[in-house]
Amino acid sequence: QAPSAPLKALTPAPLGVAVMSGQLDDPAWTTLARRHVSQLTPEWEMKMEYILGDDGAFRFDAPDRIDAFARANAMRLHGHALIWYSQGQDWFEAIKPARREQAFDDYIARVAGRYRGQVAGWDVVNEAVAEDGDGLRDCHWSAQFGQDGYIARAFERTRAADPDAVLFLNDYNLENLPRKGATFLRLVERLLRAGAPITGIGTQAHLDIDIPAGQITAFMRDAAAFGLPIHVSELDAPMGSGLIDRARRDARRRLQTARVTEYAEAFAALPERQRYAFTLWGLRDTDSFVNRQGGDDSPLAFDGDGRPTPLFQALADGFAAA
């Protein structure tokens, strides 16, 4: 089988993947990434859970390694994620209330400041919207600053630390759950109107392949209306593990590739200035977090041996259609 064209050559924008610093020691991973990938997102090592030690000390060894690899291989770096409801609670709540605002601002200044000029963009706030779409999540950040307050402050502090990065509000199930997607876009509109420097929209795209055809296209059309760069930031499309029955596996694969093509088409149909990047949440199926407890799912564009999966062609078909 002739080697496939590099995926990044078929993508009408940077083609990103999630990376963990340990993968940089795997020649199979780095060879495949150099051929197919033009942007990297640290999968977890640029988050509070890695950077902030229990003693409040900051560690940057792993994200610095990823940054250096990206630069050495002419790949863009995408920063993920500064403020997230699911991280930092113990650290933040251990700080005296009078010092919490300064600690929040200092964290962003130190992390976004360190990678100023390196990252093309940041997921400034991740997953702010409630899963049922009924408003925003309450968390330790909103307890301190108010629901819109912590988001606006995070964007303002990040802009102060990095005047050039694209600043993203990032969330998931925006296409899978139209009510959540609508709440997310209303949040973007409200924050922009309040002057928050949101300059990018991130849709994670952890796909539920059973969603009705057209929902992806509908969300992307509504998101595009803001005229901002859009990042399909974490696409994977799990089919389910343990699909031994051939007929069932083939049926799931057909659903998966149809939805992935739909996402690629919708992205490619955006005006060029709104196509920030298209990122897969892992390079090979065996790198996927969905298989980290030993699953055999095939949610990504390459299998464990680095061969293209049907998802590769689904992407190529969608990107070519525009």
Segment interacting with ligand G3I (CB under 6 A) among 42-50, 93-101, 182-190, 208-216: 42-50
Contact (Cβ atoms closer than 8 angstroms) between residue 172 and residue 127 = yes
Question: Which of the following is catalytic: 45, 67, 175, 234?
Answer: 234
* Dist CA 159 CA 81 (whole Å): 14
- Is 289 a binding residue for ligand G3I by CB under 6 A? The answer is yes
Nearest distance from residue 271's CB to ligand G3I, in Å? 26
Nearest distance from residue 80's CB to ligand G3I, in Å? 6
Among 32, 43, 100, 198, interactor with ligand G3I by CB under 6 A: 43
Spatial neighbors of 118 by CB under 8 A, at least 6 apart, are: 67, 70, 71, 77
Site string for ligand G3I, 107-136 (x = CB under 6 A): -------------------x----------
Among 67, 162, 175, 234, interactor with ligand G3I by CB under 6 A: 234
Peptide bond into 160 cis (omega under 30): no
Identify whether 305 is a catalytic site residue: no
Residue 187 or residue 316: which is nearer to ligand G3I going by CB? 187
- Is 58 a binding residue for ligand G3I by CB under 6 A? The answer is no
Nearest distance from residue 250's CB to ligand G3I, in Å? 27
Q: What is the dihedral of CA 26, 291, 288, 320, to 10 degrees?
A: 120
Identify whether 171 is a catalytic site residue: yes
* Dist CA 236 CA 20 (whole Å): 16
Pairing mode of beta strands 76-84, 39-42: parallel
- Is 36 a binding residue for ligand G3I by CB under 6 A? The answer is no
- Is 226 a binding residue for ligand G3I by CB under 6 A? The answer is no
Segment interacting with ligand G3I (CB under 6 A) among 39-47, 90-98, 195-203, 246-254: 39-47
* Dist CA 171 CA 83 (whole Å): 12
Tell me the two tokens of residue 305. Answer: 């041996």
* Dist CA 116 CA 261 (whole Å): 34
Residue 87 or residue 319: which is nearer to ligand G3I going by CB? 87
> Which residue in the shown chain puts its C-beta closest to ligand G3I?
289
Three-state SS at 136: strand
In 10 A of CB 294, how many CB atoms? Answer: 6
- Is 295 a binding residue for ligand G3I by CB under 6 A? The answer is no
Q: What is the dihedral of CA 203, 289, 287, 205, to 10 degrees?
A: -20
- Is 44 a binding residue for ligand G3I by CB under 6 A? The answer is yes
* Dist CA 216 CA 55 (whole Å): 43
Among 141, 172, 267, 319, interactor with ligand G3I by CB under 6 A: 172
- Is 47 a binding residue for ligand G3I by CB under 6 A? The answer is yes
What residues are labeled active site? Answer: 127, 171, 234
